Amino acid sequence: MTPAPSSSPPFDVEPAYRVFIDSLDYLSSSDITRIKAAFAYAEKAHANQKRMSGEPYITHPLAVAGAVVEWRMDADAICAALMHDVLEDTGTTKHELAEKFGKEVAELVDGLSKLDKMEFASYQEAQAENFRKMLMAMARDLRVVLIKLADRQHNIQTMSAMRADKRARIARETLEIYAPIALRLGLNKLYRELQDTSFRLIHPHRAEVLAKALKAARGNRDELLTRIQSGITDKLAHAGLKADVFGREKSLYSIFRKMKDKQLSFSQVLDIYGFRVVVDNVPTCYLALGALHGLFKPVPGKFKDYIAIPKANGYQSLHTTLIGPYGTPVEVQIRTREMHNVAQEGVAAHWLYKDMDESSADLQIKTHKWLQSLLEMQTSDSSEFFENVKIDLFPDEVYVFTPKGKIMAMPRGATAVDFAYAVHTDVGNQCSAVRINHELAPLRTELRNGDLVEIITSSKVSPNPVWLTYVKTGRARSKIRHFLRTMQNEESARLGERLLRQELLSLGVVPISIPALAWEQLVKVSGQKTMEDLYTEIGLGKRLPSVVARRLLAREDMSPDRPSNMTLAIHGTEGMAIQLARCCQPIPGDPIIGSIKKGSGLIIHTHDCPTIRKSRSTEPQKWIDVEWEPEEGKLFEIQIRVEVKNTRGALAQVASAIAEAGSNIEHVSMNADPERLFTVLNFTIQVAHRNHLAAVMRGLRHIPEVSRIIRERGADS
């Protein structure tokens, strides 16, 4: 049931309230009645609250609702804007809101409410979790983010009463998150305002100095500006083209960023004049471009066609840079009126301009796809999700082509791996090579505008942790981490099961003879959900198999340090759960021993590894007897040092002998002695087992120039 509106709002809110009500003339009388009721409800809920400036709190939701009305949004969105703080600031519940104003309004308000009732370890964690909640609500209903942006806009406009450090923190958050979201949604006008206001709050002195300099420079530029504008207008009229031409002002923050990023002086930034040409239709855009290229010479390589290939946020225009009078660079954007509306208001143009159904529908679809892609990045760690999304909010883009000619927008700096994950998660996970413009290229190659990218996949390939060092998109980073985490858990679970089985057998117990109830109780007391989770904990070294085995058997009388008399057989190909130590680089045939390292799984060393001598004598319970289980086809890296006489062709002979022995050379480096009589060759080679290594060394000893061969043992574990 809808409550009746209050008879009269407080006197100091009255003028703003009246202006607000008068602006609702595009809505029906029943909608206006609902909005008045929502105002009355919000006013009552915030009756005893004041803003830090001393104003009644209701002035804030009223201002937010006013901004939403400027986008000509529907009654539900306006009601939600008026009541966006009632859930977190008052005792009102979501259920109560749904009863009074409908489920849709309640969902919008809930999506806008922070998670104040939850406890977080830090401000960063709370911020990340709130952001995740907002994105999920955004994906369900785009109106959530538009109201949130209006809320943030009013908040940073009215922060003068706050502490300076808090002002700066909120302004930085706005620059890092909310301004890029506004840009990604095509809300350019709001984007620039959020940037400029945040800049003034973070760097008040710099903003003041720049504003004064800009005001002074404007007067000196007027004559040249007028001359260029007149020339453009006359040229278009002479060509029979109807167009509106106006100068494009740079925002304070864009001037500051350009000066900082490109190390330019204020005068250098302002020496570039910007103009916008708005015409009636797309063919006229290209005719206007031709006319302007006839007026002033275009700068080669400075033309961009965002009409044929729109930006991901729906932005369309022709961009060209011309050489104007006195050699002055002139940047011109040419677009239709509909494109201009989208460029200014983005997705909000859907509500604002009723005559642009087709383009706004396309923009809505693109925006929905982007929001869905953000949800696909979800991880259990909200901070990681937050970072992934921040990475994805890059405004700069490059446009590349799939082999079928489809255009894909990627962030500047994106690599072939980013592209593979943008196509599909499975393509990314099985990405083995890439052809860029029909030529094979490294996976870390950065993509450039116009590249034709073809990903080569293989079912035998899986994501490499090294990819994380160069991928650019949050999606790729999230998918790689998810795969590696899943693989590590699966491999660790298999290892954990083997370790527990071995421990039980060493105690004289066959695992299959243990009753199911005992296994269930073990899972329960361990605090895990499944036996698989417990196996993973053992495999990752977070639990000792000896302790878990005794708990399972309830035989606490046994010595915790009792060593196992069973030996664990390994292939060396198990993946991340079993790692071969870098210090001694064990290969099949080497006597080996294993140590469970917390979070890393089982680390395999050679018996004579000098790095582990002390630990083996002081902590024998941490070590497990391990042996190699034969497996064909796997190659292991090993380092050898070959000392040769400094003669012509010695390196070629050594490399040839290694190849003849069936080994691959992964890396080679050289060191000559001071007298230059001998050269030391350091090889990283691949061998199948100890006998294979012996065969390589025998082949090298037959070379007369070789004086010494040593298998290297590293110093680091």
Active site residues: 88-89
- CA-to-CA distance for 431 and 35, rounded, in angstroms? 54
Beta strands 407-411 and 601-606, pairing class: unpaired
In whole angstroms, how large is the CA radius of gyration of the chain? 34
What H or E segment, with its residue span, contains residue 110?
A: helix 103-112
Question: What six digits make up the tokens of 154?
Answer: 């009013």
626, containing H or E segment: strand 623-628
Burial class (CB in 10 A: 0-12, 13-18, 19+), 275: buried
- DSSP per-residue string spanning 34-49: HHHHHHHHHHHHTTT-
Entry field: residues in the chain = 717
298 Rama class: left (phi>0) / alpha (psi -120 to 50) / beta:
beta
User: What does 464-479 look like in DSSP terms, one character per residue?
Assistant: -GGGGGT---HHHHHH
Strand partners, 378: none
Give the residue from 20, 134, 112, 16 showing the smallest Cα distance to 66.
20
**Burial track 206-216 (b if 16+ CB lie within 10 A, e otherwise):** ebeebeeebee
Query: How many Å from the N-terminal Cα to the C-terminal Cα in the chain?
Result: 71
- Whether 313 and 272 have beta carbons less than 8 Å apart is answered as no
Rounded to 5, what percent of the chain is helix, strand, coil?
50, 15, 30
DSSP state letters, 376-426: HT--S-HHHHHHHHHHHT---EEEEE-TT--EEEEETT-BHHHHHHHH-HH
Residue 417 three-state SS: helix
CA–CA gap between residue 180 and residue 313 (Å, rounded): 11
| Residues 475/377, Cβ–Cβ less than 8 Å | yes
Q: Could you give the 3-state DSSP secondary structure of residue 55?
A: coil
Q: Of 157, 150, 153, 148, which is closest to residue 130 (Cα–Cα)?
A: 148
Separation between Cα atoms, residue 17 and residue 9, nearest integer Å: 8
Q: Is 298 helix (H, G, I), strand (E, B) or coil?
A: strand
CA 206 to chain centre: 31
Question: H helices of 239-308, where?
Answer: 252-261, 266-270, 282-295
CA-nearest of 590, 592, 627 to 612 is: 592
DSSP classification of residue 327 = G
Main-chain dihedrals φ then ψ at residue 296, nearest 5 degrees: -125, 150
Three-point CA angle 571, 580, 507, nearest 5°: 60
Contacts of 434 (CB under 8 A, 6+ apart): 416, 419, 420, 440, 441, 442, 443, 445, 453, 454, 455, 456
CB of 580 within 8 A of CB of 604?
A: yes
Which tokens belong to 543?
A: 């639990």
DSSP-assigned letter for residue 468: G
Could you tell me which of 580, 607, 605 has the C-alpha nearest to residue 594? 605
